[in-house]
Structure 1
């Protein structure tokens, strides 16, 4: 079903891989891209992959959506996990691309039931590990 605002559809694989991450924890992260008027899965991160592996998958000059399963410990040393949705829109991306990603984001996010925290990032400092830690608590 296409998004009325931008005409962008969501490929079924996006929801399937998100459910695998959420229920089975079979992926550390998922990077999505818009291609040929639909959101598709571009890259899956293995559970053992790190935050650095994840950020290396985000292109420096192109927009992407991403899901990151962030594990952390509370102040009481209790292990927890939060599912982050990241809207990656670097300043160097093309204006048209930024507009398409911005107008499709809310509709795409609604397709993924279980997102706990959303981040908007235009450069890597806006989604550093310190940002994840502060938003997770």
Structure 2
């Protein structure tokens, strides 16, 4: 594996939709079966609990999520979070491809405020995401 993971144009389009229109709050991507391209998987409006249920227990994903929260002083905040979901049971070759894909996405997605690496659901708890975004 060379480290060059392509990102399908549909991924950028879905990100632009999340960023501009705000009709959706979550976009999920994955690495293609041949481990060469990041591809679009899902977009929609998900509650935090629905987001957790949408993540496969044994396959990596990239999640863009428009996180809404209140700071300690009570002011409302909104930040786009890129989550690298790579559960512990992921095969080595998939883990490597996922890592390369994440680097490529980070370089392409202008407007992402927070990057989170998650290996289990505790890393994805709402309070943990807010803590990283604050």
| TM-score (ref. length: structure 2) | 0.91
Determine whether 1:73 maps to 2:50.
no
Q: How many residues align?
A: 132
- The CA deviation string for residues 75-107 of structure 1, in whole angstroms up to 9 with x for no partner, is 333222011110111111111110111122111
Q: CA deviation at 1:5?
A: 4.3
Residue 38 (str. 1) matches residue 37 (str. 2): yes
Which residue of the partner structure matches residue 133 of structure 2? 136
Distance 2:61 2:2 in 1: 18
Match of 1:106 in 2: 103
Q: What are the Cα deviations for residues 98-133 of structure 1, in whole angstroms up to 9, with x where unaligned?
A: 011112211121111111000001111112111112
Q: Distance in 2 between matches of 1:90 and 1:98?
A: 9
Q: Deviations over 1:19-73 (max 9, x none)?
A: 1111111211111011142111101122xx2011111111100111111110112
- Does residue 123 (structure 1) correspond to residue 117 (structure 2)? The answer is no
Unaligned runs of at least 5 residues, structure 2:
none
Residue 55 of structure 2 corresponds to which residue in structure 1? 58
- Contact 1:5–1:103, Cα closer than 8 Å, also in 2: no
Does the 8 Å contact 2:18/2:24 carry over to 1?
yes
**Mapped partners of 2:50, 2:103: distance in 1:** 26
Unaligned runs of 5+ in 1: none
Structure with greater contact order relative to length (CA < 8 Å, sep ≥ 6): 2
